[in-house]
């Protein structure tokens, strides 16, 4: 699948979804998907092998919870095979947590792109609730196997 093929899908996904306010092309040949009530998603097209990379910022952990949140991020990333290419990271020292998903796009359809985006946003919102929760509130990280498949 070429960049031009993905660009056509990105142009169609906005009008195809009521939740998407706008899809903007970025300066680095990616796209920013803007939602009315969900986190924005940066989309990048990567080649050899052909894949897309979704990225969204999910929040800054409270200073008193950073260690436990960072530990959870590391545990999640250690399950990379089970988590279908989903990863968590930091934007920098003391930065926000970013949720990232990389997936194969060979023969990607508009419906598949829409479904993957919906599952990505759902999982990002679950992580956001965990990452940004206040100290003293009992919450568990959404660390599980086959997370994206479970949301299908």
Q: Which of 66, 127, 54, 137 is nearest to 95 (CA)?
A: 66
Once rounded to an integer, what is the mean pLDDT over residues 114-142? 85
Q: Within 13 A of 90's CA, how many CA atoms are on the CB side?
A: 14
Q: Packing angle between helix 3-16 and helix 110-131, nearest 10 degrees?
A: 70
CATH of the domain at 86: 3.30.1460.10
Q: Is the pLDDT of residue 146 over 80?
A: no
- Both structure tokens of 85: 């290419």
Q: Is the pLDDT of residue 138 over 80?
A: no
Q: What totals of helices (H) and strands (E) does the chain contain, helices first?
A: 4, 6
Cα separation, 93 vs 79, whole angstroms: 23
Domain extent, residue 65, equals 3-150
The predicted pLDDT at position 144 comes to 56
Contact 100, 88 (CB under 8 A): yes
* pTM of the shown model: 0.86
What are the backbone angles phi and psi of residue 26, rounded to the nearest 5°? -90, 170
pLDDT digits (tens, 9 = 90+) for 63-91: 998 999 999 999 889 887 777 788 999 99
Q: Which of 146, 140, 149 is nearest to 80 (CA)?
A: 146
The predicted pLDDT at position 148 comes to 54
Contact 61, 67 (CB under 8 A): no
The predicted pLDDT at position 85 comes to 80
pLDDT digits (tens, 9 = 90+) for 19-57: 899 999 998 889 999 998 888 999 999 887 888 999 999
- Number of domains, the chain: 1
Q: Which of 113, 67, 77, 116 is nearest to 98 (CA)?
A: 77
């Amino acid at each position: 699948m070429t960049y031009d093929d993905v660009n056509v899908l990105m142009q169609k996904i906005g009008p195809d979804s009521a939740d998407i306010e706008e899809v903007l092309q970025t300066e680095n040949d990616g796209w920013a998907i803007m939602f009315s009530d969900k986190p924005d998603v940066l989309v990048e097209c990567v080649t050899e092998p052909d894949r897309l990379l979704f990225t969204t910022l999910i929040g800054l952990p409270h200073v008193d919870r950073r260690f436990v949140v960072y530990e959870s991020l590391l545990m999640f990333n250690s399950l990379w095979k089970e988590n279908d290419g989903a990863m968590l990271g930091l934007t920098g020292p003391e930065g926000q947590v970013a949720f990232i998903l990389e997936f194969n796009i060979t023969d990607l359809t508009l419906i598949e792109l829409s479904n993957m985006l919906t599952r990505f946003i759902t999982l990002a919102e679950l992580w956001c609730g965990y990452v940004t929760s206040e100290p003293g509130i009992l919450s568990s990280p959404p660390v599980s196997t086959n997370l994206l498949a479970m949301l299908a």
